[in-house]
Amino acid sequence: MRKNLVVLSGAGISAESGLKTFRDADGLWEGHSIYDVATPEAWHRNPELVQEFYNQRRKQLREVNPNAAHYGLAELEAQFNVHIITQNVDDLHERAGSTQVLHLHGELNKARSTGPGREEVLLEHWELKTGDLCANGFQLRPHIVWFGEEVPALYDAAMLCQQADILLVIGTSLQVYPAAGLVHEAPFDIPRFYIDPKAEERGGQSNLQVIAKTATEGIKDFRAILLD
């Protein structure tokens, strides 16, 4: 029986594909405060601005490709039952070939109805506009978990972590909750790895074997350890 490899991935893995990280160093997202583009209040206050912000991110996503870290994780499905729990809203894991990806914070390539059914719609293009409606006549919004909203996939993510035989954290600072708390859901006595160039500086993570490299470089070391 193949072992369960559970991966927690974050913005660092996609940054190496040239995708801008969601939050810049100055705390602004492409010049916008999070309160202008990533809260339910922002959506109600200025939906056109919110739509345009995510349209540009969606457009950029179509211009980049998966990198060696994405492909390296996908290839591990040949030996392990790999579940990826990602904080990223892009589809680079899927495009690299990973078949079991759980998105904690939503997906750029989907829209969601603002109606009571909250139906999800797969977008065929990068632009979502005011007037784009679901089948029941409600405006579509980005399928993103905004600040102040619940994380619907958190329970499923916790269950996957509890069943892990091996845990890998890659490309995330482990500073953002509730996602960071998933590390503590995994059994303490299993092999646990942390790939991040600043992992040693951050510290404070118990029982994690640190690989202080970028995602694309660190995945090589990780695969060598697993497949040795």
pLDDT digits (tens, 9 = 90+) for 72-102: 999 999 999 999 999 999 999 999 999 999 9
> Please, which residues have CB within 8 angstroms of residue 226's CB and are 6 or more apart in sequence?
5, 76, 79, 80, 166
Residue 73: closest CA among 83, 63, 62, 65? 83
pLDDT digits (tens, 9 = 90+) for 31-52: 778 888 999 999 999 999 999 9
CATH assignment, 1-19+66-105+150-228 = 3.40.50.1220
Q: Find the mean pLDDT for residues 15-24.
A: 76
Q: Give dist(CA 6, CA 160) in Å, integer.
A: 7
Write down the pLDDT at residue 58: 93
H/E segment holding residue 45 = helix 40-45
Taking the domains of the chain in order of start, what are their residue ranges?
1-19+66-105+150-228, 33-63+109-144
Q: Give dist(CA 64, CA 203) in Å, integer.
A: 32
What amino acid positions are annotated as catalytic residues? Answer: 105
Q: Give dist(CA 72, CA 174) in Å, integer.
A: 21
- Residue 27, pLDDT above cutoff 70: no
For the full predicted model, state whether its pTM sits above 0.85: yes
Residue 193: closest CA among 212, 175, 216? 212
pLDDT band for 198, please (50, 70, 90 cuts).
confident
- CATH 3.40.50.360, applies to 33-63+109-144: no
The strand ranges marked E within the chain are 4-9, 81-86, 101-103, 106-113, 120-122, 140-144, 166-170, 192-195, 209-211
The dihedrals phi and psi of 87, each to the nearest 5 degrees, come to -85, -10
Average pLDDT, the chain: 90
Could you give the C-alpha distances from 29 to 15, 32, 35, 50, 193, in angstroms and in order?
14, 5, 10, 12, 30
pLDDT digits (tens, 9 = 90+) for 119-173: 999 998 999 999 999 999 999 999 999 988 999 999 999 999 999 999 999 998 7
Q: Give dist(CA 31, CA 152) in Å, integer.
A: 28
pLDDT band for 29, please (50, 70, 90 cuts).
low
Write down the pLDDT at residue 194: 94
